[in-house]
Structure 1
Amino acid sequence: MALHDFEAPLLKWAFSQIISNNFNTEQIWKMVKEKANGKGRFSKTNFWIAIRNPLYCGKIYIPPYKEEKGYFVLGKHQPLISEKQFADVQDVLDGRKKEIKPKILSIDNLPLRGFLKCPNCERMLTGSASRGKMGNYYYYYHCSSPCKTRFKAELANDAFLKQLQYLSPKEGMVEVFIEAFIKDFNNKTKAHNTERTNIISEIDTLNKRYQNALLKNADGEMADDDFQEVKRLTKGNIEVLERRLNDLAVVGTEIKDLVASTLKKVANIARRYENGDIEEKRLIVSSMFPDFLEFDGTRHRTPRLNSAIALIYQNSSRLQDKKMGQVYHF
């Protein structure tokens, strides 16, 4: 999306926050929404497209045309961030750098601290350790006074891991879903492909018009004032068309890449959680369960799943969607 003066500083701030590794991307988007206070185009979809869009580091993507492969060119617009900053952001988003330092400090035995909601009073549970008579430490998730709700951390942690394992898709299911999604996406974007072809043709026509005017001016067949006017109009129109072309190309490419990358991570989510460090565990929890978890002593439930997770399991008997209160038991 092309940015207005109001949106540009907020998106630039978002890029810097992603690089700093202090919050996950979901949290950064929510902070941007709060700062925007209802202004600007900062829906979640627009935000994800924007932070993946090389337009903001000065590059424009020219999609494949006939026998030619797609490629990037330097645009004539002022970049919002440097190419290095854009590359650093992509490293974070693609998992080549740790995306998040936990906002709530949590020791290894309490990975769910800050995510669990009390089933009795609806406050968020905290967690702590108590020392036993033999000097061993025992960890608990518990509510604040006067509520006495308390669960053994080992019990809640084991239940959560078993539920993740239960959710793991069958072998090959993710690949099938990705293939079906891309096929459906391509069918629905045929109109965009036609529009891209038309834009490329318009750009080519404008470039030829400019080159023709340049030659006439050099040969003395066109006055300098007339040439400058043709140059201003053609270059201005070309820049507008290039922005439209880049938006169309990047949206399709990035959405498909994002869906494929996300779903491949879902396939091994339980193994990643079990073997991950505390940051990895908390990142998985915050990504899959954007609201909160509630533990009843046996299993966890949540009012809302990450949309990608909900979609891939929408026809699975492994995921029970309780319409009353829209609660997911997984």
Structure 2
Amino acid sequence: MLSVPLSSVKEGRYMGTAPLGYVNKISEDKKIFIAINESEALLLKWAFEQIVANNFNTEQIWKKAREKANGKNRFSKSDIWVALRNPLYCGKIFIPPYKDEQGYFVIGQHEPLISEKMFADLQDVLDVRKNVIKPKIVVMENLSRRRFLKCPNCNKMLTGNASKSHMGTYYYYYHCSSPCKTRFRAEIVNEAFVRQLKYLSPKAGMLAAFVKAFINSFNNTTKTQNKERVTIINEIDQLNKRYHNPLLKNADDEMDYEDCQEIKKLTRGSIEKLEGKLNALASVGTEIKDLIATNLKKVANSDKCFKNGDNEEKRAIISSMFPEFLLFDGIRHRTSKTNSATTLMYQNASKL
């Protein structure tokens, strides 16, 4: 720990070696402070979010974070464990007890990485996880459908494991629990799912039609916004006229120069505020359209995304497209419900 006055810490400045996600810096007036290290902070925030969402246990999250960090030393297991309990990440610094003073927290001058609510939620998960919450299990690459598949015979969830042959080769299976004997080769199940995704892929022109329909619907639901735009444009026109009137009056000696400049200043300020509102309203529609276009490209190639994605991506595709469990009958997957947007985009053109 750097030797610094306690008053500096009480001011909310972190004075030690920057923790994971931050970097030490010195201001122009020679004061020490910490700033966010973007690459580390993004990964650490991801780890926090995964624990709060209860997606994986802490050990698994550390391994994934370590992998994403390409083995950087600062993402050691101890670094992660310390970070999970450190209130510094939600903007607080602890002042330890000193003489007759009790310990207390102060608001840090550094930029917090997460909100106080997320930090509180994180502590709740860590405190009760062992007794109440059962974190989801990271499945093997070959068993990405595990916890999504139900047995077609007894309707129980299928589990999965690997079996090693006498030649040392591993074979993967989805299977039901005893006494049900349902068992499928994982390779067959996985390939069947990719084939079905390919078959479901939107036909030519369907994405363009869906985007057009979505934009039309979006425009209909934003009529109020469009009316507001018209109102703002009219107000700007009126203010522009008001802006030029003092100039004419000043030129005709009907208004003092100072009064003319004051009216111009006030009017220009009002115009700039309205122009800001107008730009904000216009950008919303543009952002929505760009967002739809970008993400629908992924939807159009869901089979390729699934085949080439990691376990997290594969499971995200399954859960977003099929909100209920899948049943594999030995040939194909069945489900009682498909995401409604997926159904619209993926159906044949003749059905539209």
**TM-score w.r.t. length of structure 2:** 0.47
- Which structure is larger by alpha-carbon Rg, 1 or 2? 2
Q: Name the structure, 1 or 2, with higher relative contact order (CA <8 Å, separation 6+).
A: 1
TM-score by length of 1: 0.50
